[in-house]
Structure 1
Amino acid sequence: MLRDRGAIKWTSMMLPEHLTQLKQDLLDVSKMEKPSLDEQQIEEIDILVSEAIALNRELKFKLFKEGVAEDLIGTVQYLNYEQHKLHLKDHHDQTVYITMNDIIGVAYND
């Protein structure tokens, strides 16, 4: 008499290496290219950051890191022109350093 394996025969067999490669491929597909900013957008970002420093207002930054856009909310504490970095205080009262080249958008956090 022939013994059937039941539902086991329909499960796929994948090696751990295949699973890690599939996960990496899904991450690579979701990555995007860094959008380029024109002179007017750079000027607007500079004006918003300057006003936020003067008025001590909270800003919402859209950052581009490793193919993914991230949001960061914080108050600008210091603008370091030599290193092209912003020093922020986030909601957890921790200092965060942002490279100016990573910024792709800024808006007031209302």
Structure 2
Amino acid sequence: MEVQERGTMRWVSPMLPEHVELLKEVFVEYKEKPILNEQKMNEIDQTLKYALKHQVNIEMTYYKEGEFLTLSGKLVRIDQRKGYIVLWNEDGFNISLTSIIDVEIV
């Protein structure tokens, strides 16, 4: 008589799908902020200046608390002295210049 090995199956407790979803929400993977090279920073700067001058919509990706977030809207102001931009959409946002990762004209 042979004993059939179940491997790790005997050590894993069954979980309800609701529990799995809650665990995924709690344990969000922390992402590091990428370090932008000078060329990418210049590209972002030029795109922001063009968007401000021509009042076109932009889509911006920025870093906040371990996440990459995306916003769309029109650029209202660039305040380089204080280090932020004002993006106009339904909510209105002030975004730090150092947290911007990418900007595209929509």
TM-score w.r.t. the length of structure 1 is: 0.72
How big is the alpha-carbon RMSD for the aligned residues of Structure 1 and Structure 2?
Answer: 2.1
Partner of 2:60, secondary structure, is strand
**After superposition, where does 1:49-64 map in structure 2 within 5 Å?**
49-64=48-63
Give 1 or 2: higher helix fraction.
1
- Unmatched segments (≥5 aa) in structure 2: 1-12, 16-21
Taking the aligned partners of 2:14 and 2:34, their CA distance within structure 1 comes to: 42
Moved over 3 A (4+): 20-24
TM-superposed CA distance for 1:108, in Å, is 1.0
Q: Report the counterpart of residue 6 of structure 1 in structure 2.
A: none
CA 1:23–1:54 in 2, change beyond 3 Å: closer, same or farther? closer
Runs of at least 5 residues in structure 1 that lack an aligned partner in the other structure: 1-9, 13-19
Percent of counterpart pairs with the same letter? 23
The structure-2 alpha-carbon separation of the partners of 1:31 and 1:55, relative to structure 1 and needing over 3 Å to count, comes to same
Taking structure 2 as the reference length, the TM-score comes to 0.74
Q: Which residue of structure 1 lines up, in the alignment, with residue 88 of structure 2?
A: 89
| Matched length | 88
Which amino acid is 1:66 matched to? Answer: E
Q: What amino acid sits opposite 1:108 in the alignment?
A: I
